[in-house]
Amino acid sequence: MTRIPIRIALSNPLVLRLLTVFTATIIASACGSQRYIGSIGRDRTYSNRGYGLALRLAPGGLEERWLAIDPMAPSEVPEPLRPTRLHGRIDLDGNGELRFDEAVDHFSPTLRLLSRTSTAARMDLDVLVVARRYAKASLEAIAAGQTRKLGRLSPDELDQAMTSAKRRSVAPDFAALVLELPRCQTTATATATPPPAARRGLVCRAAFIDQPGLVAERGITRRQIIRVILQAPALDDALRADQDQLLRNLVLSRRGPREKPADLW
């Protein structure tokens, strides 16, 4: 095997370029992925640059009645109540393929709020990246598919939920649908039969927000569905009002983080 002296190799512009790209890849993989974690700032606003969203916790007294679990300090609540931190691949460009550079740190759900007045009520905010083959699907069609999975509803139950769905708008101008389900299950219980959530008698109020045309890293445009799932033993006007307040406090963007030279995702 022919050996090339290190000094000569480093003087080659092509070698230097490859080393620069490799180093940038390592740095981006280690640091850049944090943008999908999000954090709560001093102004009591949760922001997630990767998904292009922000939630103001103070307006309407939302934070007085609900505890938002800060992704940067999850140990403030017992482990069983925390979202799950993951490092895995997400189809961030919606092309149907998972690449190694799409592995990012993220939480499932993205953000969780626990009721300060009820031990069983909570609101989970999560993000679904829509595959390109469904890019033209209506919000109603996507919401119906998600609702069917969330509640394991019969065709009649699904039809009733969709018929009674209420339209909302999320700042600045994103369309949303809000539905009520007679039962629900969480991501963690999705494979259980019957799901533990159903055994506990939880019901759901689910909001699906359409966030199309988000310009993400590398200038790639994707469509996202923001899901806000309220779970409780029973729904009352106060819980519905709090979820509506959360939707009013939520602000979505049409642009993700600005791309830096060393960024991947």
Range 35-38 contact pairs with CB under 8 angstroms and sequence separation of 24 or more: 35/104, 35/256, 35/257, 36/90, 36/104, 36/105, 36/106, 36/265, 37/71, 37/72, 37/105, 37/106, 37/107, 38/71, 38/107, 38/110, 38/111
Domain architecture of the chain: domains with CATH: 37-252 (3.40.1000.10)
Cα 184 from Cα 226, distance rounded (Å): 17
- State residue 196 phi and psi, 5-degree precision: -55, -35
CA torsion sign for 147, 149, 155, 156 is negative
So what's the pLDDT on residue 110?
Answer: 95
Tens digit of each residue's pLDDT (9 = 90 or more) over 39-92: 999 999 999 999 999 999 999 999 999 999 999 998 889 999 999 888 776 777
- State residue 28 phi and psi, 5-degree precision: -65, -40
- The percent of residues in the chain predicted with pLDDT above 90, rounded, is 53
Cα 3 from Cα 112, distance rounded (Å): 56
So what's the pLDDT on residue 15?
Answer: 47
Residue scoring higher pLDDT (71 or 18): 71
Confidence of residue 3 (pLDDT cuts 50, 70, 90): low
